[in-house]
Amino acid sequence: MSIALLVIDTQAALFDPAPRPADADAVIARIDALAARARAAGAAVVFVQHEQAEDSGGPLVHASPGWQLQSGLQVDEESDAFVRKTTPDAFLRTDLADKLLGCGATELVVCGYATEFCVDTTVRRAAALGFPVTLASDAHTTHDKPHAGADAIRTHHNATLPSLKSFGTPIRAVPAEAIDFVPAAPAPVPPVLTK
């Protein structure tokens, strides 16, 4: 059993222009701390980057300055894995599942941007695929929206995602500092009684 850290869409075009996401610098610092602990524990660190079509003219065209990871992130180019995606679901039409299987990941820690889009969708999909998920409750963020501020959006998702029980795999929201990258012990197997 192994845990992998998924860092979703922490890209320059999403974090650097004003207005920045809520608590952007603190979120990046917490992600860096999570990644350092994951690497020290031998856990996989996977950076997921959203990209737009080349003809879109958008800021997230592959290899453009805005597509790059936010400059404050501590990245290990040799040991970290990288996944390119085009939808809010980091699993859809990507090689993420193969990378996770390849490193033996059975549990996920998720952090990044944007709480109500790619973080939410990926957490739900991971649980549907059978991965227990820990959402780093203070290491995901978003921008204020007309209908709700970023803090309210994050609070809402930290409360609602763990309440989803129908997937049959647990989702929990835990502050980044409390995440240790030691897999949960498997449930004890009851003894087989014979006469």
Q: Is the pLDDT of residue 7 over 70?
A: yes
State the SS3 of 5-53.
EEEECCEHHHHCCCCCCCCHHHHHHHHHHHHHHHHHCCCEEEEEEECEC
Cα–Cα distances in angstroms (integers) from residue 56 to residues 51, 92, 97, 149, in the given order: 10, 20, 27, 28
What pLDDT is recorded for position 110?
Answer: 99
What pLDDT is recorded for position 11?
Answer: 98
State the catalytic residues: 118
The C-alpha R_g of the chain, in whole angstroms, comes to 17
What pLDDT is recorded for position 114?
Answer: 98
What amino acid is encoded at 96 in this protein? Answer: L
> Residue 142 — pLDDT band, cuts 50, 70, 90?
very high
Helix (H) or strand (E) holding 81: strand 81-85
What pLDDT is recorded for position 189?
Answer: 55
Tens digit of each residue's pLDDT (9 = 90 or more) over 27-43: 999 999 999 999 999 99
Q: Judge residue 97's burial from the number of C-beta atoms within 10 Å of its C-beta, 0-12 exposed, 13-18 middle, 19 or more buried.
A: middle
What amino acid is encoded at 163 in this protein? Answer: S
Q: Is the pLDDT of residue 1 over 80?
A: no
Tens digit of each residue's pLDDT (9 = 90 or more) over 154-195: 999 999 999 999 999 999 999 999 999 986 666 555 555 544
Tokens of 116: 């109500």
Give the CATH number of domain 3-178; options: 3.40.50.300, 3.40.50.850, 3.40.640.10, 3.30.70.1530: 3.40.50.850
Tens digit of each residue's pLDDT (9 = 90 or more) over 131-140: 999 999 999 9
